[in-house]
């Protein structure tokens, strides 16, 4: 039996005339040099710092709008128009803040006037306790000067400070304008935020990009609003519980509400806020109580309450979806606190949550999202 032999040229059939050519492979996108990335990062940081008078009211308004969006959706289910619901939410929020401020301004002024005198007494007590150590240091210093041939005469430096009485008056209109801008922007974001979002998404050329961007923005709005509203409720409960603890320790109602409000506000800034809170409660304890053991109780109760909230309650309520690495969180607190001060500390966690959600949805950046966990 003979086997037909075919040449390689005969075994390959010629391509048909109507065959479509293979689509060209997209060229890989060139990567920017590291020096350009560093310069761009520095330029962005400088812009965020230089334009903070414009950026911060917008970010704060978006923050408050995210807090109010779940409430607006609930009121929408009750057939309340969005405009009326937004005005109602803003009105209730401002009324509650004003009522709380009226209750707290008196104790805050009284404590601010009495605290320096009380702290001087505490400082004298601490100085008496450390007086032997100071005397030993002074004797060692005099002995070293005598051995070196120096005189015992000290150079006294007198520092003068010029107080400008008009500084407060010039800052008051600027602060009032910033507060008014935040309130108006919050109202407009609540009313017109959805339409603005739809028009911005419509600028994308393809439907796939529009759908993808819409999904990301919807995810950010849902998750961040849920996170911010949950943290707000938890911190409010922490402030109320701490106020009750101070009442049991014998502190007046208004002053207990003052320190409970301070504890609730400081709890929005992780790590930094509780550290400042423990320091303030320690000073407050020494001012309020003469017994050293009783003076430590407010700081100890605040620390125990914050530990239970941070290690038990918040992880159970939020779960692992919003988990952020403590190292990344501390770095973000340092960066945003350096850029925007106390407002940056309050906004650092919501901004990190937004960045993590965006990175988790974009192709090729899921690794960076896992890096933040």
Cα 73 from Cα 10, distance rounded (Å)? 71
Half-sphere CA count of 99, side-chain side, radius 13 A: 6
Question: How far apart are alpha carbons 152 and 141 in whole angstroms?
Answer: 10
Tell me the pLDDT tens digit for each residue of 78-109.
Answer: 888 888 988 998 988 888 888 877 777 777 77
The model's pTM is: 0.68
Question: In 230-246, which positions are buried (b, 16+ CB within 10 angstroms) versus exposed (e)?
Answer: ebeebbeebbbbbbebb
pLDDT of 7 over the 60 cut: no
- Determine the Cα–Cα distance for residues 329 and 372; give it in Å rounded to an integer: 8
Tokens (6 digits) for 237: 């409960």
- Comparing CA positions, the residue from 15, 90, 69, 360 lying closest to residue 216 is 360
- Least Cα distance to 343 among 236, 265, 271, 281 occurs for 265
* Cα–Cα distance measured from residue 204 to residue 210, given in angstroms and rounded to the nearest whole number: 6
Among residues 237, 234, 254, the alpha carbon closest in space to that of 101 is found at 254
Averaged pLDDT of the chain: 76
Q: How far apart are CA 328 and CA 334, in angstroms?
A: 10
pLDDT higher than threshold 70 for residue 345:
yes
Confidence tier at 277 by pLDDT (50, 70, 90): confident
Q: What is the pLDDT of residue 371?
A: 79
- When mean pLDDT is compared over 99-108, 330-339, 360-369, the highest value belongs to 330-339
Q: Could you say which DSSP state residue 186 is in?
A: H
């Amino acid at each position: 039996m003979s086997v037909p032999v075919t040449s390689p040229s005969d075994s390959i059939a010629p391509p048909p005339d109507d065959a479509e050519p293979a689509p060209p492979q997209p060229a890989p996108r060139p990567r920017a040099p590291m020096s350009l990335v560093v310069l761009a990062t520095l330029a962005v940081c400088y812009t965020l710092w230089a334009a903070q008078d414009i950026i911060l009211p917008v970010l704060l308004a978006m923050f408050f709008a995210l807090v109010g969006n779940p409430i607006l959706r609930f009121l929408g289910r009750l057939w309340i128009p969005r405009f009326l619901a937004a005005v109602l939410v803003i009105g209730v929020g401002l009324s509650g803040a004003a009522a709380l401020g009226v209750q707290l301004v008196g104790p805050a002024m009284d404590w601010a006037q009495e605290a320096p005198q009380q702290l001087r007494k505490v400082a004298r007590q601490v100085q008496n306790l450390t007086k032997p150590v100071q005397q030993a240091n002074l004797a060692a210093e005099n002995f070293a000067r005598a051995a070196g041939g120096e005189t015992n005469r000290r150079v006294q430096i007198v520092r003068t400070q010029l107080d400008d009485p008009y500084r407060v008056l010039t800052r008051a209109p600027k602060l009032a304008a910033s507060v008014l801008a935040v309130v108006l922007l919050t109202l407009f974001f609540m009313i017109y935020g959805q339409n603005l979002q739809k028009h911005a998404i419509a600028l994308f050329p393809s439907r796939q990009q529009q759908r993808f961007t819409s999904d990301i923005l919807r995810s950010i709005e849902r998750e961040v609003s849920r996170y911010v509203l949950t943290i707000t409720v938890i911190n409010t409960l922490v402030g109320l519980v701490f106020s009750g603890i101070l009442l049991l320790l014998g502190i007046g109602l208004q002053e207990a509400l003052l320190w409970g409000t301070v504890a609730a506000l400081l709890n929005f800034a992780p790590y930094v806020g509780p550290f400042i809170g423990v320091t303030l409660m320690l000073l407050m304890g020494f001012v309020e109580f003469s017994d050293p053991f009783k003076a430590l109780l407010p700081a100890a109760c605040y620390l125990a309450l914050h530990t239970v909230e941070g290690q038990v309650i918040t992880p159970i309520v939020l779960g692992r979806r919003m988990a952020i690495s403590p190292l990344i969180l501390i770095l973000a607190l340092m960066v945003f606190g350096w850029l925007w001060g106390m407002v940056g500390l309050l906004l650092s966690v919501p901004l990190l949550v937004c960045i993590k959600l965006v990175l988790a949805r974009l192709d090729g950046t899921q690794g960076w999202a896992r890096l933040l966990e």
